[in-house]
Chain A
Amino acid sequence: MSGTATIDFRLGFAGYITCFSGIARREFLRFLNQRERFFAALVRPLVWLFIFAAGFRSILGVSIIPPYETYVLYEVYVVPGLAVMIQLFNGMQSSLSMVYDREVGSMRVLLTSPFPRWFLLLSKLAAGVTVSLLQVYVFLAIAHFWGVEIPVGGYVAALPALVLTGLMLGSIGLFLSSLIRQLENFASVMNFVIFPMFFASSALYPLWRVRESSEVLYLICLANPFTHSVELVRHALYGSFEPISLGVVASVAIAFFVLAVTAYDPARGLMPRRGGPPGEPT
């Protein structure tokens, strides 16, 4: 199986569609059958919004931060970060399912199909992003009723931004899943990846606040692609465009996707060398 980005036309366009819909349907069924996963994904950001943001309500009333044109309450500031946090957890969770699939063997079936591996992984990624979009928009609707009113056009403008951030975070997750041999290991990687990415970003506090306490931490936050994901979505929600964040998110998404495809390629990837599941072609 080749991992290169070419389409084998002998498989036919309809074949690709069938393959994609099969992967997407599997992802949606998993999502529908695990309703607690849907609620868990919502509870996490809502706890931040309802409880954490309440405690810091007035913290930002001292500075105007783009794209906002006036002073905003903390609960308004934190919503884009929480929306992308949903995607972060979703991206990692989707990749977690890859590890799970591989452990129980169904992944082998998926990866031994005649379709190019990059297409299989992209399909898996796209299905995961679609699920995350549903969760994000439900969260934004709840936030609206909580008083975080975003301009109507912002909900539409944020869609492509959310797709891109979803792809980036999903790609990172896919790549990480290729490095992991067992489910237990992946959980610990999540702790080492999710929390540093989330807390060392502009999701919970503006970077000028971070800079006040540490220039080094500020630079780390600035280099964190999660910061740019949050800022891309934040600007889109308020009808403005952040080209640097777009460039960073798109580049990181492409880079990690290529890395994931390479890593999942048995001929060149990391899986066989790291001792992939028995029976994987080498």
Chain B
Amino acid sequence: MTSNPKFSAIQLICALTMWGLLPCQAQAYTIFVSSEKDNTITVIDSEKLQVTNKIKVGRRPRGILVTHDGKYLLICASDDNRIDVMDTKTLKVVRSLKSGPDPELFVLHPSGNPLYIANENDNQVTVLDIEKNIVVAEVPVGVEPEGMGVSPDGSVMVNTSETTNMAHFIDTKTHKLVDSVLVDSRPRFAEFSSDGRMLWVSAELGGTVSVIDTETRKIVKKIEFKVPGLPKETIQPVGVRLTRDGSRAFVALGPANRVAVVNTDTLEVEKYLLVGQRVWQLAFTPDEKLLITTNGNSNDVSVIDVEGLKVVKSINVGRAPWGVAVGP
């Protein structure tokens, strides 16, 4: 029997790749970044890590997300009091949705509809049917609502109010506020763990992240951050993302120019990663190989290798990058 040398070579490459001796080819995704001072969405190729396009959108774009089917990018155009809908293939804004005044951040129900929008100036959360563009409900919450999270089973939505310093739990069926948990000063972001048992809420001025048990609605731990050589007041947690396997959390620390890596078992900080100035929001690529950070004051985004816990590149984008989302 004769051996096929080509097959052997392929086998060798596969084996080397499996052993981690050759880098695996990462899938290319499209990274979208909103720039609130340029009124643009910057498009970045996740494989080449290069800017491929810039698209003009509504005024002061902040929170952005990609719909679950990957077809559309939803953009909070805060100063135009609307949500722009961009086709992720053609990169054209195809329509606008109602949002209520000054939309800042939003989250989609796990089913893909409705959309829950924080209206910062109106102290309410707007519930919007994105297919029909109809406001289903308006839920009054605390002062200056911002962070939005929804439980993986879709039963509970959480909003954080910056001035009231609370995380508000809202029933997604009745649209009624069912509970509120007091956290540290200026809560900015809410993120559920993938099993839905824990809710992570960052407090910008408090300098902490509260980990809340979603069943008892009690704070399990307040994580504090200490970056050597930096004064405490520069450490201002904002964006939070957890890996799907629940092993790690990443916390953007604002003017500390660091992303903290937190072990979710011990709830202790493992490492601080240096990124650009005033790191704000975070987003994983769908394969969770990369984590993208928006750096508002240095006008760039940093790309973190999630497995190696290293910052691999920083890429210039428009002025004051704010939100980030990754599509297929």
Contacts and interface: CB of A to CB of B under 8 A. Distances in A.
Interface of A: 54, 57-58, 61-62, 64, 69-73, 149
A57 B272 CA distance: 13
A23 to B, nearest CB: 41
Interface in B60-119: none
B314 interface: yes
Given A62-B277, A62-B298, A64-B314, A71 B229 contact: no
Nearest to B298: A62
A71 B302 contact: yes
Interface in B295-312: 298, 300, 302-303, 310-312
A54 B314 CA distance: 24
Nearest to A76: B274
Interface in B278-309: 298, 300, 302-303
Given A70-B302, A71-B275, A58 B229 contact: yes
Given A58-B229, A62-B298, A71 B276 contact: yes
Contacts of B229: 54, 57-58
Interface of B: 228-230, 257, 274-277, 298, 300, 302-303, 310-314
B274 A73 contact: yes
28 contacts: A54-B229, A57-B228, A58-B230, A58-B257, A61-B257, A61-B274, A61-B277, A62-B298, A64-B300, A64-B314, A69-B312, A69-B313, A69-B314, A70-B275, A70-B302, A70-B311, A70-B312, A70-B314, A71-B257, A71-B274, A71-B275, A71-B276, A71-B302, A71-B311, A71-B314, A72-B274, A73-B274, A149-B310
Nearest to B274: A71
Contacts of A70: 274-275, 302-303, 311-314
B300 to A, nearest CB: 8
Nearest to A55: B229
B269 to A, nearest CB: 15
A57 B310 CA distance: 17
A63 to B, nearest CB: 9
Contacts of B257: 58, 61, 71
B20 to A, nearest CB: 13
Contacts of B228: 57
Nearest to B308: A149
B259 to A, nearest CB: 11
B317 to A, nearest CB: 13
A225 B312 CA distance: 30
A149 B302 CA distance: 18
A250 B300 CA distance: 37
Contacts of A72: 274
Contacts of A57: 228-229
A158 B273 CA distance: 26
Nearest to B297: A62
A71 B300 CA distance: 11
Nearest to B276: A71
Contacts of B312: 69-70
A203 B311 CA distance: 23
A149 B305 CA distance: 14
A71 B314 CA distance: 7
Nearest to B49: A69
